[in-house]
Amino acid sequence: MSTTARELRAPARPGKGTAAPGGAGRLGSRFAYSFGLLIVLLVLWQAATALNPSPFFPTPLKIGTHAWKMFFGAKDGALLTDAMAEHTLQTLGRVLLAFVLGSVAGILLGTATGLYRVLRDATDPVVEFLRSVPATATLPLFIVLLGGEDSMRVAFIAYGISWYVLINTANGVGAIHPTQLAMGKAFRLSKWRTLTGIILPAALPKIFAGLRLALTGALMFAIVSEFMLATNGIGFQLIQSQARFQILDMWAWMLLLAVLGLLLNSVLEAIEHRLLAWHRLARS
């Protein structure tokens, strides 16, 4: 084959200084796919509230401007205002601590019930009975037992989210294919190595599904727990704003909650993406 023929058949490669064709287009398409609907809804909301003003439904532009001044407009030159630093950090601390405690408890109990059929059969009626009671309905019980301190709120949040992790972990561990366990026996792996090297990695997709639900639930339970007997936190500020008819403040705190939830889920999604890279490659 001649040199000319090889040059004609060889695929063109972009140089080092040039971007791959279509890269910017793919990035734009991905952005439009992810945020297009949200942008359309915000534009419709802006138009509807601008044409029909209501004190209860401000425009998104007015909410965003007010929220920025509330949270980042400190007069002393600080980056965060007192409202942002005090109340948001209090809620975020409770959420993260309770998320860790509830997730660890759910993974441990879910792994045990998933591994041992006898234990699963014995605890299944209790689990089904307790998880059928909405976690928010148990808040008065936690207040009676633990009072109105932060320990009560952390315990309440951890209890509420542990069910998501427990059930998903138990399902993931219980669904391990016998062939995988037989492979561990063939290599004469210890029970610990089998658990950490075969069972838990195979159950990780289900575990992370539970963790993502738990993280969203943790933020929700934190807000609910701050509605009662609280002196700080986003939930406390929400209920105070509503009672004082400070509508813009109420919307600003709700906007902050949405942003916090998005950021927390993005961080967990990035961790999941890193740890489950092998899972995506196995399915592709």
pLDDT grade for 207, boundaries at 50, 70 and 90: very high
- Position 257: which residue type? L
What share of the chain in percent tops pLDDT 70?
A: 83
pLDDT (tens digit per residue) in 189-201: 888 888 888 888 8
Check pLDDT > 50 for residue 6: no
Q: State the average pLDDT for the chain.
A: 84
- Position 33: which residue type? Y
Question: In residues, how long is the chain?
Answer: 284
Sign of torsion, CA 21 27 32 34? positive
pLDDT given at position 280: 67
Check pLDDT > 90 for residue 37: no
Q: Which of 220, 126, 224, 118 is nearest to 166 (CA)?
A: 126
Rounded to an integer, what distance in angstroms lies between the CA atom of residue 263 and that of residue 215?
11
Rounded to an integer, what distance in angstroms lies between the CA atom of residue 284 and that of residue 269?
19
pLDDT grade for 284, boundaries at 50, 70 and 90: low
Q: Which of 234, 191, 222, 220 is nearest to 83 (CA)?
A: 234
Rounded to an integer, what distance in angstroms lies between the CA atom of residue 237 and that of residue 257?
12
pLDDT grade for 78, boundaries at 50, 70 and 90: low
Mean predicted confidence (pLDDT) in 51-62:
89
pLDDT (tens digit per residue) in 142-185: 999 998 889 999 999 999 999 999 999 999 998 888 888 788 88
Q: Who wins on pLDDT, 106 or 279?
A: 106
pLDDT given at position 157: 96
pTM over 0.85, yes/no: no
Rounded to an integer, what distance in angstroms lies between the CA atom of residue 35 and that of residue 29?
10
Check pLDDT > 60 for residue 205: yes
Q: What is the DSSP letter of 19?
A: P
pLDDT given at position 117: 84
CATH topology for 87-283 is MetI-like fold (1.10.3720)
pLDDT given at position 110: 93
